[in-house]
Every structure is written in structure tokens, then in C-alpha cells.
Structure 1
């Protein structure tokens, strides 16, 4: 039964991580587990997540590195501080649903330093852990943010649109950085895990209106980088907010400084019959 849902699982993980995903089912006695890894890395050359049933209603998830993952671990060790903080925040978000442990390290200061790194999470369900829906829930609540954290540390690229030719260099760099942060699937994932899928401006929940076609909520950078007097630490938990496409478009109609969410709400109030 689980094999019928592997495409859904891999697509959700790919969407949340911004990377290609490979997975394989694995027999666990009379039950079934999953192995998940990045498709551009062989299973033994990068992080691998193993999902296995535990008891009647729980899943045990373990993240480890393959025996030949030293090059990717060295790459991770050079990750910028901003990427490390985002990765830690993604793992922190799992704790709302599951018990998480990183042997020998603290949850707020963990680092991937060598091949002995392990991360464990246990999620208990209301029904049998053999139910495919329970497996999907574990992937959504635990494995997606776990793999997204690894994708951020590895540094999978984020596509950035080109800016207008008439932008000066500083403006172009600013636009690229805002776009990179708003379009980074890991930033989006963390923003929505923390703030939910409700537009912070108009209150619309797109999925409640459009059903399965409603996964269109966007994330907005609350404070334009151009307004900062000096560089400061970037935190996607507080610097991004979910907006529906209409409100996000409206926010950016004013240039160079976009409208605030409160200003957009005020404008909407002025035009309500």
C-alpha cells in the first residue's frame, strides 16, 4: 500500500527542500520502512533518513550520513552562519510534533562535524503506524524539515529572477537578496510551519477556497533590506510572513519601499462597502 504513496511523499519532500529526492521502501519484518536521500548524491555519499515503524502507533526517524559522505560533510562545515541558523530553526520546528534528539549535542547549537552525526525523532500517531496516511504525516512533519535543514547546509541553489536593467548595483543586489530569501523553499517551509497558511493581511486561507489547487500562499520579506541602516542578522521566523498572491502583489506596488501589512489592511478597509 505504501508504494502507491511514494510519489506524493517524494514530491512533498522535494518541494520543501528545493532538491531532487530519491527513496526506497525497506522491509521491517512484516512491516515497511523508508530510506530517503538526495537524488544527486549516492545513498552512501550524503545524508540518509531512515523511517521505521516503532510499536503499534509510532515512527522512529533517524538521519545519518553514508560511509563515503566525507566530501559533503566538509562542504556542510563551510556553511554560512545564516544557513546554519535556518537549518537549526527547521529542526526546532519539528519539536512541536515529535521528540527530537541529537546525541552528544544541544538542540540550539548542533553542528554536522563528522560522519558520526545522528539525529533521531519519534512521532506518535492516533492510529496504526502502518497506515499510509500516518507514514505521509511523519514525512510531512518530520522528514521534510529534517531534509530541508540538510539541503540548506549543503547549499542547494535558489533560483533568483533577473532585476530590471535600470536598477543601480546596490538596488539590484538588494532585490536579488530579497527574492532569494522569499523564494528559498526552506525559508518558505519554515515560515509556513511557524505562521501557518493564512494570509497575514486579508486572512484568506487559499486551500480552503481552492482545495487541492490552493497551495499558493507566498512568503513576504517584512523589512526591505534597503531600509536597514546597517547589516543585521536575518531570521526567517520573524522576517518573513505568509501572504496570498493578491496581497503580496499589492504590497510591492509601492516602490522603492513596499507597503507594510498594516498599511495594506488599512487600504482594504477604506474600500470595503
Structure 2
């Protein structure tokens, strides 16, 4: 079943992590599994997630490191506090029904210092439809785990910038990954924390456009370029979901964008009678 649905799994993982994904079927154990890694690092040199059936309607996902991943582990061990915070938040966003453990560490403050690191997730009672089940496991469990690794490694995204914000988000550029969002991990966390309803106009794109409605964008409430001094990054308070129209409207004022409250007032009083303009 896993081997026949590699394309489905890869598409979910690449959309969520913003990185090219490599994978291979692993028949070395009694139940056939799938090994997943970042394609540009190759299986031996970076983090590897192993996915196998578990029980009657479940999967087990174990994340560790390849045999020659020392350089990447050292890079991760030196990640900044903001990247560590975001990586932990990504893993913490996994649904509470999934049993997630880090070998020998507490989940609240796990860290990677050696190649012996192991994170395991057990997902039970999945839907009977195999494609629905694999989509759920990929999107809701493997994506946050691998996205956390991408954040710690320093994967970032270069995009044409039309909002007056910095080209880069997060840590030092490690590789170039072209996606619509500058950091797809931010979009993942924003949606998990706040949902997909626009914080300004209340539009739920999926209700309006159906399968074409995955268009919610991520807005930094305090633009990175305007930070007076570094402070801890908190995805719960620093990000907001906006529809494309409201996101563009927010950034029509520069260098300091309109606040969400100001945009809501503008929509209620477009002629500026309230004196915002």
C-alpha cells in the first residue's frame, strides 16, 4: 500500500516542508515501510523518517538520522533559540491523539545534540480508506516532524518580495526552495493555531471555493524589518491568517503596514469618515 502511494505522500510532504523529498520502500522488516528524507541531503546525510503500519488501523513514524549525518547534526545543535522554539511548536502542533515521544527527553524541551536522537509518533484508529489514512498521517504527523527538522537545519525560501519585507525568514540560508510562501512552516503553524478563516474579513476560502480554497496567507503582525530589537518568536501571537485581498490591503501602507484592527475599520468605513486616513 505504501509503495503504491508514494506520489500522494511526497506531494503532501513537499507542500508542508517546502523542501524536495526523497523516499524508498523498506522491506527489511516484517511489515513493509517507507523511508523519507530531504532529497538534497540524501538518506545517509540528514534526518530520516521511517513510516510503517502499526496494528490494524495505524502507523508508526520514527525520525532519526542517517549514518553520516554528523555535519547536519552539528548544524542543528547550533540552531538559534527562535528556530528551536519554532521547531518545538511544529512538533507540539501534532494532534494530542497521536503519541509522540523523544527518546530519553521531555517533549517540552527536546533538543538534538547527537545522531542518536529518536522521535517516535504512534497514530491509531485511522480511517479505513487507505488514501485518506495516508494523507492524514503525512499531513498531520510527518509534515510537522520533518518541518521541524527543516527549520533547525535552516531551509528557507527565496521569493520575489512585493510587501517590503526581508527576502529571508529565520536562520542562515542553507538551500533554495521555491514555494509560494516564503516559509511554508509558518503557514502550517498559523493554520494549525488559528484556522483558515481570514482574521480581517472572516472569509473561509474553503467554504467559498471548495478544493480551490487553500489560499489563506500568513501575515507577520510585527514586520520583521521593523523589529527594534530581537525578541522570542511566538507563532501564536506573531502570525495571523489573511485572505489574499486583506493581506494585500494590509501592506498598501509602508513601511509600517496597517494593523488588522485598522483594516477592519477601513472596511466598515471605506470613505474614511472615522478619520483613520
Secondary structure of the corresponding residue to residue 196 of structure 2: coil
Structure 2 residue aligned with 1:26: 26
The C-alpha deviation readout for 1:173-205, integer Å capped at 9, x for no partner, is: xx206x636721111111111111111111112
Deviates more, 1:141-150 or 1:234-243: 234-243
Secondary structure of the corresponding residue to residue 60 of structure 1: strand
- TM-score (ref. length: structure 2): 0.85
Deviation at 1:243?
0.3
Contact 1:217–1:245 (8 Å) recurs in 2: yes
Structure 1 residue aligned with 2:36: 36
Cα distance in 1 for partners of 2:123, 2:161 equals: 42
Distance 1:270 1:162, change over 3 A: closer
Secondary structure of the corresponding residue to residue 100 of structure 1: strand
Secondary structure of the corresponding residue to residue 22 of structure 1: strand
**Is 1:148 aligned to residue 182 of structure 2?**
no
Cα distance in 1 for partners of 2:11, 2:104 equals: 33
- TM-score (ref. length: structure 1): 0.86
Distance 1:245 1:162, change over 3 A: closer
Deviation at 1:6?
2.0
Higher helix share: 1
**Is 1:188 aligned to residue 187 of structure 2?**
yes
What does residue range 9-158 of structure 1 map to in structure 2 within 5 Å? Answer: 9-27=9-27, 32-128=32-128, 131-158=130-157
Distance 1:29 1:78, change over 3 A: closer
Q: Alignment RMSD, CA only? A: 2.5
Deviation at 1:95?
4.2
Structure 1 residue aligned with 2:166: 176
Deviation at 1:38?
0.6
Contact 1:36–1:50 (8 Å) recurs in 2: yes
Q: Structure 2 unaligned segments of length 5 or more: list them.
A: 171-180, 272-277
What does residue range 149-228 of structure 1 map to in structure 2 within 5 Å? Answer: 149-161=148-160, 175-176=165-166, 180=169, 183-225=182-224, 228=227
Cα distance in 1 for partners of 2:159, 2:23 equals: 28
Q: Structure 1 unaligned segments of length 5 or more: list them.
A: 165-171
Secondary structure of the corresponding residue to residue 68 of structure 1: coil
Secondary structure of the corresponding residue to residue 56 of structure 1: coil
Contact 1:2–1:132 (8 Å) recurs in 2: no
Cα distance in 2 for partners of 1:126, 1:46 equals: 29
Secondary structure of the corresponding residue to residue 7 of structure 2: helix
The C-alpha deviation readout for 1:50-70, integer Å capped at 9, x for no partner, is: 111111122111001111111
Deviation at 1:244?
0.4
Cα distance in 2 for partners of 1:191, 1:96 equals: 18
The C-alpha deviation readout for 1:190-246, integer Å capped at 9, x for no partner, is: 111111111111111222222222221100011234554433222222101110000
